[in-house]
């Protein structure tokens, strides 16, 4: 007897929850910036960080595994851009506090690992593996 797969709502996915936590920290940082800081640094930082969750959501909503993987790769690249470039630059420039940086790092590593695992599981689902859900 084949096991029936249950649908997990997007908001219940740990990977999506982590992306939203990262966006929340980014918004907190962005909200206190001056107009000039928002224009020069903040807009790009926020866009890249928010793109992580947006692309997870879009990939999760796609049917074909190649479409899913494409969006998960974009999400992973946005995570790298947001954390490894913009937020790191913000720390260097004194825009991001060391406490915020610590919060970001606590989220970043598990999110990066889960994105890699999600990509792998999406490929495995094509091969007929048992990991069709995320």
pLDDT digits (tens, 9 = 90+) for 53-97: 999 999 999 988 899 999 999 999 999 999 999 999 999 999 999
CB-neighbour burial class of residue 91 (10 A; exposed 0-12, middle 13-18, buried 19+): middle
- Look at residue 5 in the predicted model and tell me its pLDDT: 62
**Which fold does the domain 11-126 belong to in CATH?**
de novo design (two linked rop proteins) (1.20.1440)
Are the C-beta atoms of residues 13 and 121 closer than 8 Å to each other? no
- Residues 6 or more apart whose CB falls under 8 angstroms from that of 110 comprise 18
Q: Taking residues 98-107, what's their average pLDDT?
A: 98
- Look at residue 123 in the predicted model and tell me its pLDDT: 86
Query: Is residue 113 scored above 80 in pLDDT?
Result: yes
- Look at residue 3 in the predicted model and tell me its pLDDT: 55
Query: Is residue 129 scored above 60 in pLDDT?
Result: no
Torsional sign, CA 78, 116, 17, 3: positive
């Amino acid at each position: 007897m084949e096991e029936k797969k249950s649908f997990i709502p997007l908001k219940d996915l740990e990977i999506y929850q982590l992306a939203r936590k990262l966006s929340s920290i980014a918004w907190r940082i962005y909200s206190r910036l001056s107009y000039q800081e928002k224009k020069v640094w903040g807009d790009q930082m926020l866009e890249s960080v928010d793109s992580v969750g947006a692309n997870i959501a879009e990939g999760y909503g796609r049917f074909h595994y190649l479409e899913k993987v494409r969006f998960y790769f974009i999400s992973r690249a946005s995570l790298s851009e947001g954390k490894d470039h913009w937020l790191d630059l913000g720390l260097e420039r004194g825009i991001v506090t060391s406490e915020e940086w610590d919060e970001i790092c606590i989220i970043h590593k598990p999110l990066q690992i889960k994105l890699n695992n999600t990509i792998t599981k999406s490929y495995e689902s094509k091969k007929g593996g048992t990991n069709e859900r995320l």
